[in-house]
Amino acid sequence: MTDVQQHAAEIHEQFSDTLDISVEDVEERLDTLVNDYRVPLEEARRSVTSSYLDEAGMDRDELGGESEERTVETIDAPEQWVDLTVKVLQLWEPRSESIAQVGLLGDETGTIKFTAWATSDLPELDEGGVYRLENVVTDEYEGRFSVKLNRTTDIEELDEELDVPESGGASEERTITEVDAPEEWIDLTAKVTQLWEPRSESVGQVGLLGDPTGTIKFTKWAKSDLPELDEGGVYRLSNLVTDEYEGRFSVKLNRTTDIEELDEDIEVGDDSTTVEGALVDIQRGSGLIKRCPEEDCTRVLQNGRCSEHGEVDGEFDLRIKAVIDDGNEVHETIFDEEATEALTGITLSEAKEMAMDALDTTVVADEIRGKILGVYYRVEGPTFGRYVLANDFEQLGGPADAEETLIKARSL
């Protein structure tokens, strides 16, 4: 049996009770995508599965799966069905009406984020409670795993304690440049350098915090019932949750956050960086992408799913995740839609046309790669995590020996 036939048989088994389809029908769809349009087999399977879900009027979570007992640290892949015995360490404010609960779970081996969908009609979890959770689905975003509770999940509250490592929820003192991972609990002493107009009624305040090491975006939820922060004020903020979007870190104030206004001033540092060198690699996730359309969420979709809002109809965007080699070290750099268009001459509408003509979005990244790989640039912008965001740039010279410099980038 070929790989295509094996996947066709598995898909047929999932839908045989709800749709009048044959294994041959499924195999034909897969074969067309894989062999005629050169779609990778796993992506073709997801596409065919999604189309059958639409025909059946089902959600992906309703497919179910054969779950297996796991600890948190053994979760290493998305779209697996697992059983966990965990403690609810923290509950956060949901950012969408589609989410009933979101927070942090932990066991003896580590911690992991969880989301429970509003449509799942599940009993609520209590902070500090220990639960046996069966039939939860693993997910992944930017290399970090999470679990989703769905309508097939079975929840049993246990009358026992669970020894979770101290790192699972205990906040620690940080400076802004030391914020380097999402879903961590930290304390900051910072100055409110800017306040912006919230774009959602769920957000009480949003703006920019600064300390001597740099600046970071903050969000305070409307339901958190916290005092207002004043622009120019200096505060001691305890129990903040870190978040990440494309390497740009931010912090969230929640109902557990403690705010203390300080009678002092802070000199806010400049976190702008200038990089000069050859652009030696275009990373995965470059070119034509889709983002979540939900308000205040622009995460890049993975296989049609947002890590926060599940399956959504994404909105197209254009970006480049580039590696620039300055001769001594390499720098990961992000060009947004505006910068990508200025760098390559390719507009978002042109990129969508290219992908439609080829029935393949990867042609956009290939076209971009041919235009800029090996060219020397000067890039300037703020540093967030491991990325330099390209606010300004200029071309310095012609193509370099891309193959020679790629060796260094690929050794990272």
The residues spanned by each domain of the chain are: 3-58, 68-158, 172-262, 272-410
Residue range 175-201: average pLDDT? 85
Q: In terms of pLDDT, which residue wins out, 140 or 209? A: 209
- Note whether 390 and 321 are within 8 A (CB): no
Q: Is the pLDDT of residue 322 over 70?
A: yes
* Least confident range of 61-65, 98-102, 302-306, 307-311: 61-65
Residue 36 is given by DSSP the state I
* Least confident range of 97-111, 205-219, 368-382, 395-409: 395-409
**Average pLDDT, rounded, for the chain:** 83
Indicate the CATH number for domain 68-158: 2.40.50.140
- Note whether 358 and 337 are within 8 A (CB): no
Alpha carbon separation from 361 to 10, 251, 303, 364, 365 (Å, rounded): 27, 33, 13, 6, 8
Residue range 304-330: average pLDDT? 85
Predicted pLDDT at 343: 94
Predicted pLDDT at 235: 97
Q: Using CA atoms, how far apart are residues 31 and 382, in angstroms rounded to an integer?
A: 46
What is the value of pTM for the model shown?
A: 0.46
Confidence of residue 257 (pLDDT cuts 50, 70, 90): confident
CATH topology for the 172-262 domain: OB fold (Dihydrolipoamide Acetyltransferase, E2P) (2.40.50)
Residue range 281-306: average pLDDT? 81
- Note whether 187 and 217 are within 8 A (CB): no
Q: Is the pLDDT of residue 246 over 70?
A: no
Identical fold, 172-262 and 272-410: yes
CATH topology for the 272-410 domain: OB fold (Dihydrolipoamide Acetyltransferase, E2P) (2.40.50)
| Listed residue (48, 55, 53) closest to 31, CA to CA | 48
* Least confident range of 45-54, 251-260, 349-358, 371-380: 45-54
Confidence of residue 385 (pLDDT cuts 50, 70, 90): low
Predicted pLDDT at 41: 80
Please name the residues in contact with 296: beta carbons below 8 A apart, sequence gap of 6 or more.
95, 199, 200, 202, 203
